[in-house]
Structure 1
Amino acid sequence: MRISRRSLLVTGAGGMLAGCDAAVRSPTVQSVLARGDDAHRFLQRSVLDRTSLAREFRADQMSPRFRVNGTANPGTPDYAAHVASRFADWRLTIDGLVARPLSLSLADLRSMPQRAQITRHDCVEGWSAIGKWQGPHLARLLDLAGLTPAARFIVFHCADAIGGAPYYESIDLIDAWHPQTILAWAMNDAPLTVGHGAPVRLRVERQLGYKHAKYVMRIEAVASLAGIGGGGGGLWEDRSGYEWYAGI
């Protein structure tokens, strides 16, 4: 049984109920777990320097093979059409709590100021690889859209699905404005392949691989994660109890 940092912050009553699905779904227990999760996030923000940079590597340190993690191909008709057209008609939507909703093409993203970084991808499954990523800062896109004061989280809606549930992930504004958080369209000096998340994927370098959402179609600014998916902040957080903040 995996004992997470989150579970250590939940009260003893919440821990005893963890083995009972019906009990865990009750409003009372959900409230307890939510308070534990809030405490967990507060502790992380208090003791971790989340503004520090992830280590960057030299070109000669890049891995000869970079495994495909998660979905290898969304496999939907819409996505297949985008692949066939080389994403000529693809658009990234940025909306939610913003003053200026955006619809950006892949060419728009490529024309913006770029950041390139060689970093290590650490997967929750236990493997890692070093690769080069390039794309605009997420912060620049959010500045163009103009976040409203109520915005607290950034949600990434993706083209793939797991078990019929659309994939989504989220980060807070601390990570959204981190200088190494980019929306990458290139990997190892070439456009992203389908397996690695074409046409764009999130790179949030201080967190584990499942937070690096692939096949991003829409970026939504929200005040709360409660109404997104199951409220845990991401598909794996909702389904498997993964940590919302997967810091490394």
Structure 2
Amino acid sequence: MTDALLSRRSWLGRAMATAGVLALAGCERGIAFGERLKISAEALTYRAQRLILPRDALAPEYSRAEISPDFKPNGSISPAAADYVALRDGDFADYRLVVDGLVERPLSLSLDELRTRPSRTQITKHDCVEGWTAIGEWTGVRLETLLDEAGMRPEARYVVFHCFDALTQTEDGPRYYESIDLIDARHPQTLLAYDMNGQTLGVPHGAPLRLRVERQLGYKQAKYIRRIEVVDSFADIQGGNGGYWPDRGYEWYAGI
């Protein structure tokens, strides 16, 4: 992410958080000031971006000539979990993507079946919270296509991505997970990518399937997806904050 983007986002968060804390102070006396500031900043940044940006506003797309020659893998690069290793060693022939939770018609789809759905290709910039960026081409099925096929129930609010990798690289460590709201889930650029730069997605970049949610930072782009769960709340999933890194203090909404 550029310094300008960071400065603009930080200014917006600080300004709106201050107003929010003043308004909420009377009813949140049990919460420490610093924590109240953090909660207000994130919630108000989320609300402000949802109000300002059209739901279908697109992230910038680029030409093939602008694709980065070296796209650094983020997070895990080779999951050690036995179930993943077995699938990887079998060239993912036995892989099934499960779509369940608050849906009328749960799905279990192979990679070949996913490739029969209408696909989208986009060339976009990946903005990492560590400060680096890279441009890559992604091809996959739109998440909205699968959600419509499964038929979300009226109480659905979020989509949770359960992954194979544990960043501790231990068999019993907490598996990576992330979540997005239904606005981002239905966004035209939100993909479940199986190809990168015209080739089958490689293991370091999240094979066999990774999320691309282009209006958010890199840690939201969940890799090694094994299951998609539609929920009305993520309060009872791991730490209850909607993602592996949000459980450890990162913002749940990482809009850029």
Name the TM-score class by shorter chain.
0.7 to 0.9
Q: In the alignment, which residue of structure 1 is the partner of 2:33?
A: 16
Structure 1 segments, 4+ long, off by >4 Å, are 3-8, 12-15, 32-40
Query: 1:17: how far off?
Result: 5.1
Q: In the alignment, which residue of structure 1 is the partner of 2:130?
A: 125
Q: In the alignment, which residue of structure 2 is the partner of 1:238?
A: 247
C-alpha change, 1:39 and 1:58, in structure 2 (3 Å) is: closer
Residues 190 and 212 of structure 2 are in contact (CA less than 8 Å); yes or no, is this contact kept in structure 1? yes
Query: 1:40: how far off?
Result: 4.5
C-alpha change, 1:247 and 1:40, in structure 2 (3 Å) is: closer
Query: 1:229: how far off?
Result: 2.0
Deviation per residue, 1:147-200 (Å, 9 max, x gap): 000001000000001232111000011011111001000001111111000000
After superposition, where does 1:97-136 map in structure 2 within 5 Å? 97-136=102-141
Q: Could you state the TM-score of these two structures normalised by the residue count of structure 1?
A: 0.87
Query: 1:243: how far off?
Result: 1.6
Q: In the alignment, which residue of structure 2 is the partner of 1:59?
A: 64
Residues 72 and 194 of structure 1 are in contact (CA less than 8 Å); yes or no, is this contact kept in structure 2? yes
C-alpha change, 1:92 and 1:210, in structure 2 (3 Å) is: same
Q: In the alignment, which residue of structure 2 is the partner of 1:168?
A: 177
User: Any unmatched runs of 5+ in structure 1?
Assistant: 19-28
Matched, 1:220 2:229: yes
CA distance in 2, matches of 1:188, 1:244: 28
Q: In the alignment, which residue of structure 2 is the partner of 1:146?
A: 151
SS at the partner of 1:63?
Answer: coil
CA distance in 1, matches of 2:120, 2:68: 20
SS at the partner of 1:11?
Answer: helix
Query: 1:43: how far off?
Result: 3.0
Residues 95 and 101 of structure 1 are in contact (CA less than 8 Å); yes or no, is this contact kept in structure 2? yes
CA distance in 2, matches of 1:166, 1:47: 34
SS at the partner of 1:195?
Answer: helix
Matched, 1:204 2:221: no
Matched, 1:42 2:47: yes
Q: In the alignment, which residue of structure 1 is the partner of 2:5?
A: none
Query: 1:45: how far off?
Result: 1.7
Query: 1:42: how far off?
Result: 2.7
CA distance in 2, matches of 1:37, 1:122: 19
Q: In the alignment, which residue of structure 1 is the partner of 2:204?
A: 195
Residue identity over aligned pairs, in percent, reads 55
Matched, 1:185 2:194: yes
C-alpha change, 1:43 and 1:227, in structure 2 (3 Å) is: farther
Residues 134 and 185 of structure 1 are in contact (CA less than 8 Å); yes or no, is this contact kept in structure 2? yes
CA distance in 1, matches of 2:44, 2:127: 25
Q: Could you state the TM-score of these two structures normalised by the residue count of structure 2?
A: 0.84
Question: Aligned residue pairs: how many?
Answer: 234
